[in-house]
Amino acid sequence: MEVRDFVPADFSREFSAPRQRDVAAAGDSKMLGFPGSLWAWLRSENSRRRSRVLLVYFTGQGLVQFTNLLTGLLLLRWLAVDNYAQFIVAFSFQVTLGFLTDLGFSGTIIALVGPRGNDPAVIGSYIRSGRHIRNVMLLCLTPVAALFYAQIVRQHHWATLTSVILFASIVASIYFSGMISYYGAPLLIRGRLSHYYRNQFAGSLFRILTCGALYLIGSLSAWTASWVNALGFLVIGSLNAHESRRFVKLPAHPDPKTTRQMMQYVLPTMPSLIFFALQGQISLFLISFFGRTRSIAEVGALGRLGQLFLMLSGFNAAVIEPFMARLPEQRVLRSYLIIVLIACAICVPICCLGFFDPKVLLLLLGPRYASLQRETGWLVLSSCVGYLVGVLWIMTAARRWIYWTTTWTSIGLILTVQILFLCLFRVDSTLNAILFGLATNAAYLLSVLINSVFGFIRGPRIQIQAISAAEPLTNPFVSSTDN
């Protein structure tokens, strides 16, 4: 598989050179056989450009995820068990409410813009419509979320003032993360990975330094850590908005036509998006209602191990989705299968480590959670399955394989598995909460596979406007004679 199979389409400003010189270099080396051809390809201009793109991704994503992972692991050590339980519940509410307010609209931009990424007005129209919908949803859902959050607070007898401040940080985080999603999309469309990850790293660095300073002065608690997280989102969102202003022309008001198209794209997935938004943290919510405070902290701590997959998951949105969105129809099946095989090959050694030597992973969590050896392997397996779900889903969304039939099939399959599990087991321990999550992820993986098969047979449900011949979106990996 060529490296270009994992590269976003538009890097024309950073990389531009004729492809013919690569062909000539390869032709001159035919007399040397395969080793000579391979060496010539590795020395070619295209090969070096592709390598630089991947280097930017792995360096940027690696730094961001390492900093975020380090911050999470340090919080495990710096916060008492009760404080960490409060922090992780607030974080889970933020994730769930964030999904419900977004409803997948931010994820439509790359797919619906498609090859029109050089038109700032097109990108700006989608951003304006999407952000308007998100803000309305946030306003409507905040009171509902507050009622459920108050019930958990009463269940565990947490301080009222601290809980109010924590909930305020949840709402702020969701608003600021919307800036990240919508203003980050133009950077990905235009292939500005270096800018995208520089902004992400700035926010991550702000979080870890601020938390460290608060710990040193004795002021780090659940609510201060949660507000630092929210302000970190603000840093990233502001930087994304600043960097993307060259590529975006925002209209004064949402365009009804654009809003309808986004709704048309998202509507078949809306039942599943609402369903999965509630499902995403269901294990933690169940243990919050039926388990002890320590069990909440243990489930949250083990969840930090799932961050090992965040670098790979970031690759899905930053590289695989733009690539699959632009891919010619005849190359989709081959690329799809190769990406799935690579994802499976990555998961196997990680699962083996989780089951056969969990102490290595538990060292990351600190002495408070060293006894969770049996739970670690199952948590890693669940995370691997969840990662595969993400890989398959991002390719499904990029190809616009979004249907009502498969949406309801997914919901029915997952609910059946969950009801069966709850009939057999109680989710009142750390291990059972993890196994419940594993069963859910396995059902989700099967449903996404079913959707993919349906997509290959039927094709995209929504057709988008072809790019104008007068304004081609340059792909530096294909010469003009090939287009």
203, 317: one domain = no
Higher pLDDT, 189 or 224: 224
Query: Is residue 293 pLDDT above 80, yes or no?
Result: no
Q: Is residue 89 part of a domain?
A: yes
pLDDT for 329 equals: 76
pTM as predicted: 0.65
* Mean pLDDT along residues 316-338: 76
Higher pLDDT, 280 or 329: 329
Average pLDDT, the chain: 77
Higher pLDDT, 12 or 410: 410
309, 171: one domain = no
Query: Is residue 401 pLDDT above 70, yes or no?
Result: yes
Instruction: Give the rounded percent of residues in the chain with a pLDDT score beyond 90.
Output: 13
pLDDT for 120 equals: 84
pLDDT band, very low/low/confident/very high, at 331 (cuts 50, 70, 90): confident
Q: Is residue 65 part of a domain?
A: no
Cα(245)–Cα(238) distance, rounded to whole angstroms?
Answer: 11
| Domain residue limits at 307 | 281-461
244, 138: one domain = yes
Q: Is residue 20 part of a domain?
A: no
285, 256: one domain = no
pLDDT for 275 equals: 74
pLDDT for 45 equals: 63
Of the residues 232, 266, 300, which one is the last residue of a structural domain?
Answer: 266
Of the residues 266, 297, 318, which one is the last residue of a structural domain?
Answer: 266
Query: Is residue 264 pLDDT above 80, yes or no?
Result: yes
Lowest mean pLDDT, pick from 32-36, 222-226, 348-352: 32-36
259, 158: one domain = yes
pLDDT band, very low/low/confident/very high, at 22 (cuts 50, 70, 90): very low
Higher pLDDT, 96 or 212: 212
Higher pLDDT, 403 or 432: 432
Q: Over the stretch 72-113, which tens digit does the pLDDT of each residue have?
A: 888 888 988 888 888 888 888 888 888 888 888 887 787 788
pLDDT for 16 equals: 40
402, 377: one domain = yes
Q: What domain count does the chain have?
A: 2
Highest mean pLDDT among 32-46, 294-308, 359-373: 359-373
Q: Is residue 162 part of a domain?
A: yes
300, 151: one domain = no
Higher pLDDT, 172 or 46: 172
161, 92: one domain = yes
292, 436: one domain = yes
166, 256: one domain = yes
Contact 400, 329 (CB under 8 A): no
pLDDT for 483 equals: 35
Query: Is residue 70 pLDDT above 50, yes or no?
Result: yes
Q: Is residue 92 part of a domain?
A: yes
pLDDT for 212 equals: 93
Q: Is residue 416 part of a domain?
A: yes
351, 396: one domain = yes
244, 300: one domain = no
pLDDT for 326 equals: 74
Query: Is residue 354 pLDDT above 90, yes or no?
Result: no
Q: Is residue 68 part of a domain?
A: no
Q: Is residue 469 part of a domain?
A: no
